[in-house]
Amino acid sequence: MKIVCLGDSLTYGYGVPRRDCWVSLAAEATGHTLVNRGINGDTTGGMLARFGRDVLSEQPDRVLLMGGANDIIFGGSDAPARLNLTAMANQAVANRIRPMIGLPTPVYAEGIPEPWLSVTDYQSLLPIFAAYRDWLVRFAGTFGFKTVDFAVPGLLPPEGHTHYLDGLHPDKEGHRLMAEAVIAALPPVRV
């Protein structure tokens, strides 16, 4: 099975070697072809703009859509992310590609570096992140799209250590935990 993983830095694997990104780890573990189409700093608007090039041209069986954090961080709202994610899911279905929805990793506000705090008040955005996550669950459920929950146990205290580089981006161990979520959501490779 071929799956395009379309997203932002959480998909790209910001701060970790390519081989340690969840996309690479899940591909290696499952034998499926996972294509990493994450771009650091991208918004869902950027993802929608490159959907034809990065998804449709690959002719995958599935697309795993995960984005919206940057829309919220820089726009203060999840409304654009909801609209753009809906458009991408509809384009996938129209092209016989099964959408999967990635539920984002939680924001670890206590770990955000000081320079980033001068641009955005992450603490005040936590309710918007929570509302967006809830909406993604309802959206996927309404249309029968499979979800991959990246808010995995052990990623944040108190369940485990803090597996973040900076409060937004998981470290190498965090990506391993994310890969486990993807592996659990995919069917076994048929031989």
Please give the average pLDDT of every successive group of 10 residues along the chain, which has 191 residues.
Answer: 97 97 97 97 98 98 97 96 98 98 91 87 94 98 97 74 86 95 88 60
The count of structural domains within the chain is 1
Q: What is the pLDDT of residue 191?
A: 60
Q: What is the pLDDT of residue 156?
A: 72
Identify the H or E element spanning 80. Answer: helix 79-94
- Give residue 129's domain range: 2-185
Within a domain: 138: yes
The CATH number for 57's domain is: 3.40.50.1110
pTM attached to this predicted model? 0.94
